[in-house]
Amino acid sequence: MAPEEIVLYGPREAPYTEKVRRALVLKGLRFELREPTRAEDYAKWSPETGLLPVMTIDGQLTSDSTSILMQLDRLYPDPPLLAKDATIAAQQRTLEDWADESFLWYFMKWLNFRGEHAVAATNVGQNQQASRQYAEEQQRPLGRLRRITAWLRAGGTWERPETAILRGLSDRLGDLVNFLGARPFFYSDRVSIADLAVYGMLLTMRRDSIPGSQQLLASRPSLVEFMRRVERETGG
Which of 75, 107, 126 is the last residue in one of the domains?
Answer: 75
pLDDT digits (tens, 9 = 90+) for 36-88: 999 999 999 999 999 999 999 998 999 999 999 999 999 999 999 999 999 99
Nearest partner of 200 among 126, 103, 63, judged by Cα: 103
% of the chain with per-residue pLDDT over 90: 67
228 in the same domain as 159: yes
**90 shares its domain with 65:** no
Output the pLDDT for position 153. 56
CA distances from residue 45 to 21, 32, 62 in whole angstroms, order as listed: 17, 14, 11
pLDDT-derived band at 155 (thresholds 50, 70, 90) equals: low
**Domain's final residue, options 75, 103, 123:** 75
Report yes or no: 166 and 210 within 8 Å, Cβ to Cβ. Answer: yes
Range among 125-129, 137-141, 164-168, 228-232 with highest mean pLDDT value: 228-232
pLDDT at residue 11 tops 80: yes
CATH number of the domain to which 129 belongs? 1.20.1050.10
SS3 (DSSP) at 58: coil
Q: Please list the alpha-helical segments (H only) found in the chain.
A: 15-26, 40-45, 65-75, 86-114, 116-124, 127-137, 141-153, 161-180, 193-206, 213-218, 221-233
Local structure of 53: helix, strand or coil: coil
CA distance 156 to 88: 39
- Residue 143 scores a pLDDT above 60: no
pLDDT for the residue 64:
94
User: What's the pLDDT tens digit per position in 196-232?
Assistant: 999 999 999 999 999 999 999 999 999 999 999 999 9
pLDDT at 128 exceeding the cut of 90: no
pTM over 0.85: no
The reply to whether 120 and 212 lie within a common domain is: yes
CATH number of the CATH domain containing 23: 3.40.30.10
Is residue 133 very low, low, confident or very high in pLDDT (cuts 50, 70, 90)? very low
